[in-house]
Chains A and B, each alone.
Chain A
Amino acid sequence: MVRLNVNGQSYEVGDDVDPKTPLLWVLRDTLGLVGTKYGCGVGQCSACTVHLNGTPIQSCQLPLETVADQKITTIEGLAAKDGALTHVQQAWIEEDVPQCGYCQAGQIMRATAFLARVPKPTDAQIDTEMAPNICRCGTYVRIRKAIHRAADKIAKAGGAS
């Protein structure tokens, strides 16, 4: 049995789930949190990005047994309990970033952690930070704009994400 802390909620994953199972599949198939996406399974595309103790990480490369009792946040856990979206999520909607939308959970997770660290990034910093995440539809121009927009929103709100 492995205890998981996902989005502030505690889950007990039974012994019927192989402890080597990547967190991605535990989230999707066992916990029913399907917002985190499978793209490549080999740590190439970052569609599966979640936060582990606040740091963005590819959940397809993260065995269940290594993340017990650590703080995991997924795309489902970003918005407030009352449904209020974060500035990053709001910026994504306002800039109309998604096309197919499949990679965007991963993009938003990485951008959220990035802005917490670098509140006012340049284009070059965005490019370096966001390079692990593939968008097959090529929405990169808008991802840059949305990150700048989110940064402005966060600054106006006094630094709160």
Chain B
Amino acid sequence: MSTNERFHPDPYVPRYLQDLERARFEAAKLDRRHFIKLSGLAGGGLVLALSLGPSAKTALAQAKPAATTFEANPYVQIKTDGTIVLFAKNPEVGQGVKTSLPMIVAEELDADWSKVHVEQAVIDIKLYGPQVAGGSTSTPTNWDNLRRAGATARAMLVAAAAKTWKVPESEITTASGVAYHRASNRSASYGELATVAATMPVPDAASVPLKKRSEYKLLGTRVSGVDNPKIVTGQPLFGIDARVPGMLFASYTKAPAIGARAKSANLAEIKKLPGVKDAFIVEQKGDPIAFGPNAPAVASGVAILASTTWAAFQAKKQLKVEWDETDASKDSWKGAIAEAKKIAAQPAAQTLGQAGDVDAAFKDGKTVEAMYTVNYVAHADLEPQNCTAWFKGDSIEIWAPTQTPQAAVDAVAALLGLTKEKVTLHQLRGGGGFGRRLANDSVCEVAAVSKQAGGVPVKVQWMREDDMGFDYYRPGQFHSFKAAVDKAGKLAAYQNHFISFSRDGKATVAGGNIAPTEFPAPLVANQRMQQSLIASKIPTGPWRAPGSNTIAFAVQSFLHECAVAANRDYRDFLLEVMGSPRMAIEGNPRSLNTGRAADVIKLVTEKAGWGKPLPKGRALGLAFHYSHAGHFAEVADVSVDANKKVTVHKIWVAADIGPVVNMSGAENQVQGSVIDGLSTAMGLAITFENGRVEQTNFDKYPIIRIDKAPEVEVHFIQSDFSPTGCGEPAFPPAAPAIANAIYTASGQRVRTLPFRMEGYSI
């Protein structure tokens, strides 16, 4: 087996996503081996044979052509009136896949995008394989299948035209939803061909010809989001907009101390309040502190069901609950900081990886030491967590703005003791995801509430205070670094003692790990990656660019310190660390490519005018980070005054994510990620004492506003590498680029995320 056939998981995506990807990888391997046999299956779902292997058989039966509709496969329907319906398989939470994934199909189909109607696909693993929004995986994992879905549909339309006109298929061309036979000057729209196309044999999905990049007409152009007309007119779209006849509106109150259980409450009093229909205590199920998309878990709390959301919220204020805090968190952030400082002064508990002789290199070179602190943060999706469910005795129907709908079905089925077939989930748009909606705690919660209420359709709506008070937070962490630069100013040794959190004392909490191969370790001859863990009961999980979103700040700031110690320009220093173009981890195609890294570093510094003179108190800062298969370099132009007031004038980005699918969407993601990066770096922190989170709303959680948001100039290097997603990898370099600029402008090193903790403001 070649190295390319070995599975290399992304170390920073949650286990659930790693498992999905591993399954997909194994299935693809199987398909390659048994390809001829599988491709002999007839029917409209051939694409599935490729993605799902033998289980595709069941899907085929469901994709029968209808009289007025040519259902080429689960992604493409062409109606005789000319309408083309493309199905968007993955959840949309703002990352743009409801537009970009159908664009991939439309390109190979040669559809006229203006006639394309996009619909959210049903949640069905047999039809669509994994349906998930996470890890920036939607584009890379669907790129091949979706192109083939479009191409097979087009091939059937071409065959239909050839049959109708009695000419060879090779003489048929297509463009913008029309098939042509130039020699006889005939043409027919896809709608006109639909009925005949439905009777054509399904071609071999694996060998159907695909376009060359130079032939793309739609991919790489700027396409406005398919839901924008609904968004700008306020049509129902989001989870919170779900309405079911007879539905009640519910609030759900958890303990101030995370993990405490409700013992008793003034329920009789609550039930008498205006608009309140029911109120009850919900027992804890499973382990709600542990992040897991398919975890059948419910945190203990009090549900109040009312005639309006407001009535349910108002009643919450009158609620008096006695909480059992036996198992509750007693965690203190201040305590964690003190403990981390102690730990950093001691030998690390574990060595994750090492190479060369670090200690000898420390003796020979000029050493640099620093400790970095990263606070917890909340996801703070603008749409607070909510979900609607209707338990019907032996089945349940759910309307959810989740990032992991299939896992939600699994979780609810296990929670209620139903088979998965008895759980129907309608996928709704999420008003922000950022990893929060990978967890299905709100889905399980409403399922439990609807059941306990006796089968009432109900929407559980979290208040902002609930959303901020119980999250799978991005965990805090600490990096205690030591490095040496040699006489030539090269990075000769690198050591990171990473201090993270753990529930069981063994594994890091979700979203709180570091890979032993994290940059720059594999590129430094003498390196040591170490780890120590602090006990914690605070729930954590993946947060936009998990791991990377904090590690990039610490590593890129510390490497800048090394460059300063060596009296080197950071661009030159970083390019020297990259060295010759190669994969940072030999044999791992998913690792950092130093050549692509160097290219984006060179491009961004050129665009930003690296080295140009700037007034006193103003400077450029550079950072690079690789995550989710995206190579991103960013330069921030920053002023800082004597009172540590920061002004970010502009940020430049150079990115290599391979070919760009939707230029408008990709640029939007990058601009938004960078502004999110600035926002989070400057001001956002979740702190806690005695297990109680201290921030409750946006007054204490200052998400950046437009008046502090700089211009963000984005450049893509559209390399020939496989395309990757864009929802996450632009985020990590923003914070260190700004911090490095602050240092160059002021001589002050920022070593805490957020910078606000060191007195900075924006």
**A and B: bona fide binding partners:** yes
User: When the two chains form their complex, are residues A138 and B235 in contact, meaning their CB atoms are under 8 A apart?
Assistant: no
CB distance from A39 to the nearest CB of B (A): 5
Q: Is the C-beta of A51 less than 8 angstroms from some C-beta in chain B?
A: no
Report the separation of the CA atoms of residues A25 and B225 in the bound assembly, to the nearest whole angstrom: 28
Report the separation of the CA atoms of residues A131 and B699 in the bound assembly, to the nearest whole angstrom: 14
Given A18-B274, A104-B231, A25 and B429 contact (CB-CB distance below 8 Å): no
Residue of A nearest to B242 (CB): A34
Report the separation of the CA atoms of residues A94 and B709 in the bound assembly, to the nearest whole angstrom: 21
Report the separation of the CA atoms of residues A131 and B703 in the bound assembly, to the nearest whole angstrom: 11
Kindly list chain B residues whose C-beta atoms are within 8 Å of the C-beta of A99: 94-96, 668-669, 672
User: When the two chains form their complex, are residues B706 and A144 in contact, meaning their CB atoms are under 8 A apart?
Assistant: yes
User: When the two chains form their complex, are residues B224 and A102 in contact, meaning their CB atoms are under 8 A apart?
Assistant: no
- Contacting residues of chain A (27-64) with chain B, CB-CB under 8 angstroms: 28-30, 32-42, 44-45, 47
Q: Which of A79, A85, A96, A130 has the most CB of B within 10 A?
A: A96
- Using CB atoms and an 8 Å cutoff, list the residues of chain B in contact with chain A: 93-96, 222-225, 227-229, 231-238, 240-241, 243, 249, 274-275, 307-311, 313-314, 380-384, 429-434, 461, 463-464, 664-665, 668-669, 671-676, 679, 697-699, 703-707, 709, 711-712
Report the separation of the CA atoms of residues A136 and B384 in the bound assembly, to the nearest whole angstrom: 12
CB distance from B116 to the nearest CB of A (A): 16
Kindly list chain A residues whose C-beta atoms are within 8 Å of the C-beta of B676: 136-138
Kindly list chain A residues whose C-beta atoms are within 8 Å of the C-beta of B94: 98-102, 137
User: When the two chains form their complex, are residues A35 and B234 in contact, meaning their CB atoms are under 8 A apart?
Assistant: yes
Report the separation of the CA atoms of residues A45 and B463 in the bound assembly, to the nearest whole angstrom: 13
Report the separation of the CA atoms of residues A92 and B669 in the bound assembly, to the nearest whole angstrom: 16
Q: Is the C-beta of A143 less than 8 angstroms from some C-beta in chain B?
A: yes
User: When the two chains form their complex, are residues A37 and B431 in contact, meaning their CB atoms are under 8 A apart?
Assistant: yes
Kindly list chain A residues whose C-beta atoms are within 8 Å of the C-beta of B93: 100
Report the separation of the CA atoms of residues A132 and B309 in the bound assembly, to the nearest whole angstrom: 24
Report the separation of the CA atoms of residues A133 and B697 in the bound assembly, to the nearest whole angstrom: 15
- Contacting residues of chain A (74-98) with chain B, CB-CB under 8 angstroms: 74-76, 78-79, 85, 89, 92-94, 96-98
CB distance from B379 to the nearest CB of A (A): 9
- Can you report 11 residue pairs joining A to B where beta carbons are below 8 Å apart? A18-B275, A29-B307, A34-B241, A85-B232, A97-B228, A100-B93, A101-B228, A138-B673, A138-B709, A141-B671, A141-B675
User: When the two chains form their complex, are residues B309 and A29 in contact, meaning their CB atoms are under 8 A apart?
Assistant: yes
User: When the two chains form their complex, are residues B234 and A75 in contact, meaning their CB atoms are under 8 A apart?
Assistant: yes
Residue of A nearest to B731 (CB): A138
Residue of B nearest to A77 (CB): B234
Kindly list chain A residues whose C-beta atoms are within 8 Å of the C-beta of B231: 92, 98, 101, 104-105
Given A37-B240, A137-B672, A98 and B225 contact (CB-CB distance below 8 Å): yes
Given A41-B313, A101-B94, A33 and B234 contact (CB-CB distance below 8 Å): yes
CB distance from B366 to the nearest CB of A (A): 40
Report the separation of the CA atoms of residues A79 and B672 in the bound assembly, to the nearest whole angstrom: 28
Kindly list chain B residues whose C-beta atoms are within 8 Å of the C-beta of A128: 707
User: When the two chains form their complex, are residues A138 and B675 in contact, meaning their CB atoms are under 8 A apart?
Assistant: yes
User: When the two chains form their complex, are residues A37 and B698 in contact, meaning their CB atoms are under 8 A apart?
Assistant: no
Kindly state the interface size class of chain A when it binds its partner. Answer: 35 or more
Kindly list chain A residues whose C-beta atoms are within 8 Å of the C-beta of B679: 138
User: When the two chains form their complex, are residues A37 and B383 in contact, meaning their CB atoms are under 8 A apart?
Assistant: yes
Residue of B nearest to A83 (CB): B233
Partner of A102, one of B232, B432, B671, B704: B432
The 4 closest A-B pairs by CB, nearest first: A35-B234, A100-B94, A102-B431, A138-B675
Report the separation of the CA atoms of residues A35 and B433 in the bound assembly, to the nearest whole angstrom: 19
CB distance from B44 to the nearest CB of A (A): 33
User: When the two chains form their complex, are residues A140 and B706 in contact, meaning their CB atoms are under 8 A apart?
Assistant: yes
Kindly list chain A residues whose C-beta atoms are within 8 Å of the C-beta of B429: 100-101
Q: Which of A29, A100, A130 has the most CB of B within 10 A?
A: A100
User: When the two chains form their complex, are residues B232 and A100 in contact, meaning their CB atoms are under 8 A apart?
Assistant: no
Kindly list chain B residues whose C-beta atoms are within 8 Å of the C-beta of A30: 308
Residue of A nearest to B710 (CB): A141
User: When the two chains form their complex, are residues B380 and A29 in contact, meaning their CB atoms are under 8 A apart?
Assistant: no
Report the separation of the CA atoms of residues A105 and B430 in the bound assembly, to the nearest whole angstrom: 15
CB distance from A33 to the nearest CB of B (A): 7
CB distance from B425 to the nearest CB of A (A): 20
User: When the two chains form their complex, are residues A126 and B706 in contact, meaning their CB atoms are under 8 A apart?
Assistant: yes
Report the separation of the CA atoms of residues A85 and B230 in the bound assembly, to the nearest whole angstrom: 11
Q: Which of B384, B463, B668 has the most CB of A within 10 A?
A: B668
Residue of A nearest to B311 (CB): A18
User: When the two chains form their complex, are residues B703 and A134 in contact, meaning their CB atoms are under 8 A apart?
Assistant: yes
Given A102-B431, A108-B232, A126-B706, A140 and B675 contact (CB-CB distance below 8 Å): yes
Q: Which of B249, B310, B430 has the most CB of A within 10 A?
A: B310
Residue of A nearest to B230 (CB): A101
Report the separation of the CA atoms of residues A38 and B467 in the bound assembly, to the nearest whole angstrom: 13
Report the separation of the CA atoms of residues A30 and B664 in the bound assembly, to the nearest whole angstrom: 37
User: When the two chains form their complex, are residues B222 and A96 in contact, meaning their CB atoms are under 8 A apart?
Assistant: yes
Residue of B nearest to A79 (CB): B233
User: When the two chains form their complex, are residues B234 and A34 in contact, meaning their CB atoms are under 8 A apart?
Assistant: yes
Report the separation of the CA atoms of residues A136 and B381 in the bound assembly, to the nearest whole angstrom: 7
Q: Is the C-beta of A139 less than 8 angstroms from some C-beta in chain B?
A: yes
Report the separation of the CA atoms of residues A36 and B431 in the bound assembly, to the nearest whole angstrom: 13
Report the separation of the CA atoms of residues A16 and B274 in the bound assembly, to the nearest whole angstrom: 8
Kindly list chain B residues whose C-beta atoms are within 8 Å of the C-beta of A132: 705
Q: Which of B234, B241, B704 has the most CB of A within 10 A?
A: B234
Q: Which of A75, A132, A140, A144 has the most CB of B within 10 A?
A: A140
Kindly list chain A residues whose C-beta atoms are within 8 Å of the C-beta of B241: 34
Residue of B nearest to A136 (CB): B382
CB distance from A20 to the nearest CB of B (A): 8
User: When the two chains form their complex, are residues B671 and A40 in contact, meaning their CB atoms are under 8 A apart?
Assistant: no
User: When the two chains form their complex, are residues B707 and A102 in contact, meaning their CB atoms are under 8 A apart?
Assistant: no
Given A134-B705, A138-B676, A103 and B382 contact (CB-CB distance below 8 Å): yes
User: When the two chains form their complex, are residues B238 and A44 in contact, meaning their CB atoms are under 8 A apart?
Assistant: no
Q: Which of B96, B241, B243, B309 has the most CB of A within 10 A?
A: B309
User: When the two chains form their complex, are residues A36 and B234 in contact, meaning their CB atoms are under 8 A apart?
Assistant: yes
Q: Is the C-beta of A17 less than 8 angstroms from some C-beta in chain B?
A: yes
CB distance from B472 to the nearest CB of A (A): 17
User: When the two chains form their complex, are residues A131 and B705 in contact, meaning their CB atoms are under 8 A apart?
Assistant: yes
CB distance from B668 to the nearest CB of A (A): 6
Report the separation of the CA atoms of residues A100 and B676 in the bound assembly, to the nearest whole angstrom: 14
Report the separation of the CA atoms of residues A132 and B698 in the bound assembly, to the nearest whole angstrom: 12
